């Protein structure tokens, strides 16, 4: 709909005005079958030189200075080895996200306990969640950089820089991040407590995307918050509105550990923005992680953004987009 009749067309998808992926449509003359026409699309991180010609064109319905209110349900559970009794905690965490300028976003989140069976301490109270400012840029040669500062999870505050680069064969990619954080948290909204200690962490590795089954394999070398250094392997299968994965890890200060992750996109899946009115919806991807080894001391690394989950990271994967075009 809206494409030029029987002519090639390129659609460039932006995230907060930063280009992510291009969809190139080259119709076959005489082809009127919808299923076949979807095969005329190609998805790639490469923008094909088009972006340089149109980047200064005046935009319509820009996302700048607009507000989203996203609700993130969060579920935690664990079992005590001696009694084999599961403990669970359900929290509802609305977040306000404001687009400030190209690639920049401010996020403020408040966490409301909805159900708590066995979790003590801060998780019993209403409290601040993420309070962050992040900046994303796309550099030449398909390199994405992101920097974020603020208050993260795991009682951390500080800064993190991350990078992503797909290779010529876009099934392969390189990824890394490094952060410096202190230990601190908000105390009932009235004050911020910290002890002045800082810690470094980093992660670097490669990815491979198995297009036939929409499955991604990740291998990382990492240093965690307690200065334990190790290796982590992940395998994640992506579906239209969900992702299921397994992970295994080994560090120099702890036993082997592993578990599984599940991320589900909650409805509504489609929604429109009406001018500058705040857009209200669920967060894209509600995650559950299970630690099969019950390792809670080591392998710690903070999440730095409220929307950081496997579904969100994969939404602009060109192979995933292509598979959805063919299966729609």
pLDDT of residue 223: 95
CA-CA distance, 306 to 97, in Å (whole number)?
A: 10
Tens of pLDDT, residue by residue over 131-183, are 999 999 999 999 999 999 999 987 889 999 999 999 999 999 999 999 999 98
pLDDT of residue 196: 82
Residue 165's H or E segment, with its range, is: strand 156-166
Give the start-to-end residue ranges of the domains of the chain: 9-54, 67-327
- The average pLDDT across 10-24 equals 89
SS3 99: strand
CA-CA distance, 171 to 148, in Å (whole number)?
A: 27
Largest CA distance in the chain: 70
CA 284 to chain centre: 9
Find the length of the chain: 328
CA-CA distance, 36 to 31, in Å (whole number)?
A: 7
User: Could you tell me if 26 and 10 are in contact, meaning their C-beta atoms sit under 8 angstroms apart?
Assistant: no
Higher pLDDT, residue 73 or 287: 73
Token pair of 70, please? 């996203």
Task: From 215, 213, 328, select the one nearest 269 (Cα to Cα).
Answer: 328
Rg for the chain, CA atoms, rounded: 21
pLDDT of residue 127: 84
- The average pLDDT across 200-217 equals 95
Measured CA angle at 103 (ends 101, 106), to 5 deg: 70
pLDDT at residue 17 is higher than 90: no
pLDDT at residue 65 is higher than 80: yes
Residue with tokens 């099934």: 171
User: Could you tell me if 251 and 228 are in contact, meaning their C-beta atoms sit under 8 angstroms apart?
Assistant: yes
pLDDT at residue 33 is higher than 60: no
pLDDT of residue 119: 73
DSSP assignment string, 191-215: EEEEEEEEEEEEEEEEEEEEGGGTE
- The average pLDDT across 227-244 equals 93
Structure confidence at residue 229 as a pLDDT band (50, 70, 90)? very high
pLDDT of residue 231: 96
Backbone angles phi, psi at 113, to 5 degrees: -65, 130
Tens of pLDDT, residue by residue over 273-302, are 777 788 888 877 777 777 776 677 888 898
Higher pLDDT, residue 4 or 16: 16
pLDDT of residue 37: 66
Q: Which of 91-95, 181-185, 290-294, 306-310 has the lowest mean pLDDT?
A: 290-294
Measured CA angle at 263 (ends 259, 269), to 5 deg: 175
| Peptide bond preceding 291 in cis form (omega within 30 of 0) | no
Q: What is the mean pLDDT of the chain?
A: 85
pLDDT at residue 50 is higher than 60: yes
CA-CA distance, 89 to 75, in Å (whole number)?
A: 6
CA-CA distance, 260 to 247, in Å (whole number)?
A: 6
pLDDT of residue 319: 93
pLDDT of residue 1: 59
Backbone angles phi, psi at 34, to 5 degrees: -55, -40
Structure confidence at residue 116 as a pLDDT band (50, 70, 90)? confident
Task: From 308, 273, 305, 284, select the one nearest 66 (Cα to Cα).
Answer: 273
pLDDT at residue 85 is higher than 80: no
Token pair of 315, please? 């939404």
Query: What share of the chain in percent tops pLDDT 70?
Result: 91
pLDDT of residue 138: 94
Structure confidence at residue 55 as a pLDDT band (50, 70, 90)? confident
Structure confidence at residue 4 as a pLDDT band (50, 70, 90)? low
């Amino acid at each position: 709909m809206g494409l030029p009749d029987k002519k090639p067309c390129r659609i460039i998808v932006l995230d907060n005005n930063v280009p992510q992926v291009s969809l190139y449509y080259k119709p076959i003359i005489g082809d009127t079958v919808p299923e076949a026409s979807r095969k005329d699309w190609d998805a790639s991180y490469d923008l094909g030189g088009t972006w340089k010609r149109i980047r200064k064109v005046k935009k319509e319905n820009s996302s700048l200075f607009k507000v989203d209110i996203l609700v993130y349900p969060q579920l935690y559970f664990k079992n005590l080895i001696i009694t084999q009794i599961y403990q669970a905690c359900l929290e509802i965490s609305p977040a306000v996200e404001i687009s400030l300028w190209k690639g920049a976003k401010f996020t403020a989140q408040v966490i409301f306990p909805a159900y708590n069976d066995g979790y003590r301490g801060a998780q019993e109270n209403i409290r601040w969640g993420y309070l962050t400012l992040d900046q994303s840029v796309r550099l030449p040669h398909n390199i994405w950089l992101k920097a974020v500062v603020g208050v993260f999870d795991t009682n951390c505050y500080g800064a993190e820089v991350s990078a992503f680069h797909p290779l010529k064969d876009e099934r392969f990619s390189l990824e890394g991040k490094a952060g410096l954080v202190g230990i601190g948290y908000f105390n009932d909204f009235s004050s911020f407590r910290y002890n002045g200690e800082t810690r470094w962490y980093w992660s670097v590795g490669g990815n491979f995307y198995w297009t036939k089954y929409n499955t991604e394999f990740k291998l990382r070398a990492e240093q965690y918050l307690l200065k334990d250094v190790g290796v982590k392997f992940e395998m994640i299968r992506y579906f239209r509105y969900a992702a299921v994965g397994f992970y295994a890890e080994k560090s120099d200060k702890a036993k082997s550990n592993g578990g599984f992750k599940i991320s589900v996109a909650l409805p509504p899946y489609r929604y429109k923005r009406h001018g500058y009115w705040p857009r209200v919806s669920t967060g894209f991807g509600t995650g559950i992680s299970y630690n099969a080894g019950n390792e809670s001391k080591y392998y710690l690394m903070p999440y730095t953004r409220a929307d950081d989950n496997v579904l969100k990271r994969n939404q602009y994967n060109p192979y995933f987009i292509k598979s959805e075009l063919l299966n729609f």
